[in-house]
Structure 1
Amino acid sequence: MTAVPNAGSNGSAGCLAVDRSSFFAPKRSLGQNFLSDPNICRRIVASLELAPGDPVLEIGPGRGALTRILAGHDGPVMALEKDSELVSWIKSEFPSVGVVHADGLDFCWEGTRRLPGLSLIGNLPYNVASPMIWEMVSRCRSFRSMLFMVQKEVALRLTASEGSRTYGALSAWVGNFVRGEYVFTVPPHVFRPQPKVDSAIVRFLPRPDPAWDDAAALSWTVKILFQQRRKQLGTILKAHWSGAVEAWCADLGVDRRIRPEELSPDALRSLARVLVPSK
């Protein structure tokens, strides 16, 4: 497990332009697309709505487009980066920023509880954004807000409501831990290299009743249901149907012919408790 380091504050924001003398070629294996537009960077950081003294953790700082702004924040600033070359550069370029050399997919997100009111921000690689967000929303226990840039298609799934075309297992899972908001669309031309699709900013605020105690049962339930999302509930759960499930349907007024995409995150949580009762 990786601990979150202490970090200084009051760093200088400096110039937003990329320093070509410290240029790092994007690594396709890491899904790197670096931000290059100062206006978009300022808008992203402003959307996080940091207050003086708030701790902030940037996920995947890359060439430091957002880090240059965050380094001027009056509060602890940290960065989590997988690329060892970029870790060394960030440490030298932004000495006030505490840097963790780690993979976000393996990071001990539970450790962030030592920083109450933490905000998380980042331009997440397309190839790991969904699994990383799956882990972060369910394992970060004391955060204030999260603001991430992801592929637009993923952003729509993350913020979808039941009954919509984009609602699925990821939507239902995330919706049980946070309240998601689609903030704005980001065009390809603000990146180097330019992706072939639009990106988008999503913001998450914690739910007052996150599904921490039901996480294992909920994970099993949404995965088994949405693997066959076009089938009816009764068909998918034929091998698991019981009097308890029948009573759940009656209590919620759910027809067994309903499809998973029509069930809200809260309904899926209550179904999970019936399907996988705690021992």
Structure 2
Amino acid sequence: MTKVEYKHTEIAVKKKLGQNFLTDRNITRKIVALSGAGPSDRILEIGPGFGALTREILEVAPSFTVVEKDRALAAFIREEYPQLHLLEADFLEVDLLALAAEGPLRVLGNIPYSITTPILFKLLENRSAIMSATLMMQHEVAARLVAAPSTKEYGILAVQLQAFSEIRYLFKVGRKVFRPQPNVDSAVISMVPKAEAPVDDARGFSRFVRTAFHQRRKTLLNNLRETYALDEVGEATLKLRAEALSVEELVQLFGLVRPLPAG
């Protein structure tokens, strides 16, 4: 079992939680600076771990909320940073709308590789509660978020996030600045929800995108025809694969299709 020691506190690393602790303070400072966090913001940090990012946020904000699932790490944070509002919980189960009752949240975090996608979709679904999110994640996932059409990285994640948010790839982070060292590099991204959603039915759009990309090598016609009425869609478009369409074009296509009756 891998263990990490910090300030005479030794904690077993839980692989199932995807724990890799950042050790380079220059990187944590850069993350906070690029996040735009300030003393008046309602800040939420996901998974503070040993507080590498936490202490940098404290340089600009006297108090904020952190969410930590690991009991031992939560105890460490509680003792080391008593001024923080600690939620010992699974971030995926936290009520973000309740936390944002007095104003939208500025979210920061070095998020676990194993649940990066669920975290991103939770933020997306609760985007009305989010001012911005500045997150470190696996480099390959970050690349998928900002991917352009007709590339292998472009897919459901890129379309969903780009449709409702402004996504920026900020910088890459090498694997050597983590304990224990992961097998992949990381990257930091910025996510800012758009002021106006491109569609009224976000859940319906999500289902549509998943269906359109269900089998990437198939055309839109083959992926969509069993689920949607396509009589208003041009034949040339239906011959394309979903990956050939931009986010804006997929939004337009969603406006032309109608779900078929169940059964």
What TM-score do you get using the length of structure 2 for normalisation? 0.89
Asked if residue 271 in structure 1 is aligned to residue 256 in structure 2, the reply is: no
CA-to-aligned-CA distance 1:96-130 (integer Å, 9 cap, x gap): 11111111222223324314242100011111001
Distance (whole Å) between structure 2 residues aligned to residue 163 and residue 208 of structure 1? 27
Match of 1:44?
Answer: 31
Query: Contact 1:112 / 1:140 at 8 angstroms: preserved in 2?
Result: no
- With over 3 angstroms needed to count, the CA separation of the structure-2 counterparts of 1:276 and 1:264, relative to structure 1, is farther
The one-letter code sitting in structure 1 at the alignment partner of 2:250 is: L
* Aligned counterpart for 2:112 among listed residues 114, 118, 125: 125
Match of 2:231?
Answer: 246
Query: Contact 1:41 / 1:66 at 8 angstroms: preserved in 2?
Result: yes
Match of 1:185?
Answer: 172
Asked if residue 207 in structure 1 is aligned to residue 189 in structure 2, the reply is: no
Q: CA RMSD in A?
A: 2.0
Distance (whole Å) between structure 2 residues aligned to residue 206 and residue 174 of structure 1? 9
Instruction: Point out 4+ residue stretches in structure 1 off by more than 4 angstroms.
Output: none
Match of 2:210?
Answer: 223
Matches within 5 A, 1:85-164: 85-164=72-151
- With over 3 angstroms needed to count, the CA separation of the structure-2 counterparts of 1:236 and 1:212, relative to structure 1, is closer
SS of match in other structure, 1:23? strand
Structure with the higher fraction of residues in strand conformation: 2
Moved more, 256-265 or 120-129: 256-265
Displacement of 1:177 in angstroms is 1.6
Displacement of 1:241 in angstroms is 4.9
The alignment-based identity, stated in percent, is 35
The one-letter code sitting in structure 2 at the alignment partner of 1:126 is: Y
Distance (whole Å) between structure 2 residues aligned to residue 276 and residue 75 of structure 1? 50
Match of 2:50?
Answer: 63
- With over 3 angstroms needed to count, the CA separation of the structure-2 counterparts of 1:134 and 1:66, relative to structure 1, is same
SS of match in other structure, 1:247? coil
CA-to-aligned-CA distance 1:24-54 (integer Å, 9 cap, x gap): 2321121100011111111111111123311
Q: How many pairs were matched up?
A: 255
The one-letter code sitting in structure 1 at the alignment partner of 2:186 is: S
The one-letter code sitting in structure 1 at the alignment partner of 2:89 is: A
Query: Contact 1:37 / 1:190 at 8 angstroms: preserved in 2?
Result: yes
Displacement of 1:211 in angstroms is 5.3
Unaligned runs of at least 5 residues, structure 2: none
What TM-score do you get using the length of structure 1 for normalisation? 0.84
The one-letter code sitting in structure 1 at the alignment partner of 2:125 is: S
Displacement of 1:138 in angstroms is 2.2
Displacement of 1:20 in angstroms is 3.0
